[in-house]
Amino acid sequence: MVDTVDNPFAPTLVEQKKERVASVAKWTTFAMAVSLVVPMLLIIGLIIAKGFPAISMSFLLENPRQSGAAGGIWGPLVGTFCLTLVCLGIVAPIGVLAGIYINEYAPDNKMTRAIMIAVTSLAGVPSIVHALFGLAAFVTALGLGKSVLVAGMTLAVMTLPVIITSTREALSAVPRNFREACWNLGASRWQTIRTIVLPNSISGILTGVILVVARAAGETAPIMLTGAVGFKPLETEGIERWLPYHLGDDFMAMAMHLNTISRDVPNMPVENKFGSALVLLVLILAINSLAVGVRVWLRRRKRW
Amino acid sequence: MDKAPVTSSFRASLPRVFEKMIEFLIRTCGWSSIICVAAIFIFILREAAPILPRLNWVEFFTTTNWRPNPALGNTPHYGALALIIGNFAVAIVSMLMAVPVGLAAAVYVSEFAGDKTREYLKVAIEILAAVPSIVWGFIGLTVLNPLLIKYAGAELGTNLLNGSILLALMSVPLIVSISEDALRAVPDSFREAALALGANRWETVYRVLFPAARNGLLAACMLGVGRAVGETMAVLLATGNTNQIPHSLVDPIKTLTATIASEMGEASTGGDHYRVLFVIGILLLLITCSINLIADYVIKGAKAKANG
């Protein structure tokens, strides 16, 4: 009985074919998306598997010896830490204030558009060109010498657009009527920014700052011409063994260390290479997850 | 009414002075990006300037004879053609892999995926974007290198294909996130109209969303190219550093970026070699800046059109 009556809503041949195409397309795009995830998991898994045996307290706390072939990674770790601190100390205030200017003060005119174009162009400058800039401006023109300070300044220029963009986004997420209410109470522009806009956007700004830390800790090209060295014999005793660098010294950094040991150092145990890569990768991913955490926290705390 | 109105005094004017100072500071910092861009151009040009009139430009752009440190008595040659071709070859091959995968992944994330899957995929893509370029280079050198020798029949595992695979993985997150933004920027009414006319999900994507988001998708690909052209560490470690025009996918090459990174250390400050490397820097700066500015213009144009 049921079989004899045609279902008037049954898909026609053309419709069936269209559905098939759609489903093929859906699964193809899915496969493409998965093909991004799989190599990532494989690579991270491989680095963990091969690098984990090398990780020990002495590996983390010893300074490299024999051009990096033996010993641990304490020196490069401290170098990366100092470098990031210098970079952050320079770029965080300037970048946040620049973001405040663009979002809160800048009139809609040609000058502001020029500033925006500058931010876009700065973000697109290749890292090796930043290295050339650091070399030309700070080392050659200012005569500062290749050092932690110069490398930090170079990284600060490189990360400036990151922090400007994220600050601006965080500020523009604060609704306009918050500001208007504050102005109506007689507050000035700066009072409004200080008491209303900044407290409501602080987590967004923080996310940007954390991303800058991750970027600064992972970059190699800008520091390799401006102060980072592949290997530097360090003191074995006293405070210098633990805090080896002054602001004006050349230094070792994790990223540069990985570059050196993966190319220039022969007869090095493979676990130690993977160990260094693992430490750098975990460091960067941990900093990034901190940024994600702050973002989630922001979303929960949001009151509008 | 028991208090007298506050008269203007030094105390009362202090906050205003402070406010003027902080606003001055904010304005100054607002200019920082312009100052930085100008400084980059000026200082790099300043280092390159002495050689600009002397450099044999025809040789620079048309020959592959790159001999910055010749044997005593011979003149150095600066023919960068192989470097330029190498740079673009690795960028183009990587885009051939990254663009289809990136666009498809963006379509899946934006149009097909459920909320949970979307979140997971986005986290994965963010992790991919966070891996530093030196770690990619390390992976190319230690993981892809033996694989390519074994399965692709390459003599040297560090070659054009190795670098391209790494660059593809590095630039895919950028392509996905910008394409996804572009697809999401298409108003839902477009999708609803297409579905109401009887189109299924894929037809909506193919016939409605792609044309509507065309500019954004184009810009995503261009920014991917910009990223690939300017990348240094991964190609330095993974492409073999051989100054030649590649004839096959598994030929080792050398790029402009890797040349600067590997030769700047041995070039004496102020010498010709040093200055030619700065000329290469200017070339890179011009290429990437124009790619980025055009992409930015394309995105802005798309937004202006969408807003009416």
pTM: predicted TM-score of the whole model, two decimal places: 0.89
Give dist(CA B76, CA B67) in Å, integer.
5
Which percentage of chain A shows pLDDT scores above 70? 97
Min distance A239 CA to chain B CA atoms (Å): 30
Give dist(CA B157, CA B153) in Å, integer.
9
Mean pLDDT on A19-43 = 90
**pLDDT tens across the length of chain B (308 residues):** 444 454 556 666 777 888 889 999 999 999 999 999 999 999 999 999 999 998 889 999 998 888 888 877 788 889 999 999 999 999 999 999 999 999 999 999 998 988 899 988 888 888 888 999 999 999 999 888 888 888 888 788 889 999 999 999 999 999 999 999 999 999 999 999 999 998 888 899 989 999 999 999 999 999 999 999 999 999 999 998 888 899 888 899 999 999 999 999 888 888 889 999 999 999 999 999 999 889 888 887 766 666 54
A56 exposed, middle or buried (CB, 10 Å; 0-12, 13-18, 19+)?
A: exposed
Name every chain A residue with its beta carbon within 8 A of the beta carbon of B263.
none
B268 touches chain A (CB under 8 A): no
Mean pLDDT on A65-85 = 87
A119 touches chain B (CB under 8 A): yes
Q: Which of B128, B226, B257 is the closest to A40 by Cβ?
A: B128
Q: What is the pLDDT of residue A237?
A: 75
Nearest CA in chain A to B109: A33
Which of A29, A250, A274 would best serve as a mutation to test chain B binding (most B beta carbons within 10 A)?
Answer: A29
- Residue recorded with tokens 């973000």: A123
Give the tens place of pLDDT for each residue, A202-227.
888 998 999 899 999 999 999 999 98
* H or E element that contains B111: none
Q: Do B205 and A25 touch (CB under 8 A)?
A: yes
- The DSSP 8-state label assigned to residue B78 in this structure reads E
Q: Are B135 and A277 in contact (CB under 8 A)?
A: yes
Q: Which of A35, A40, A160 is the closest to B127 by Cβ?
A: A40
The angle that helices A74-100 and A198-218 make with each other, rounded to 10 degrees, is 140
Min distance B260 CA to chain A CA atoms (Å): 7
Kindly state the tokens that stand for A51: 């690098």
Give dist(CA A205, CA A201) in Å, integer.
6
Name every chain B residue with its beta carbon within 8 A of the beta carbon of A285.
127, 130
Mean pLDDT on A264-273 = 80
Min distance B1 CA to chain A CA atoms (Å): 20
- DSSP class per residue in A195-262: IIIHHHHHHHHHHHHHHHHHHHHH--HHHHTTTB-S-----SSHHHHHS---TTS-B--HHHHHHHHH
pLDDT score of A63 more than 60: yes
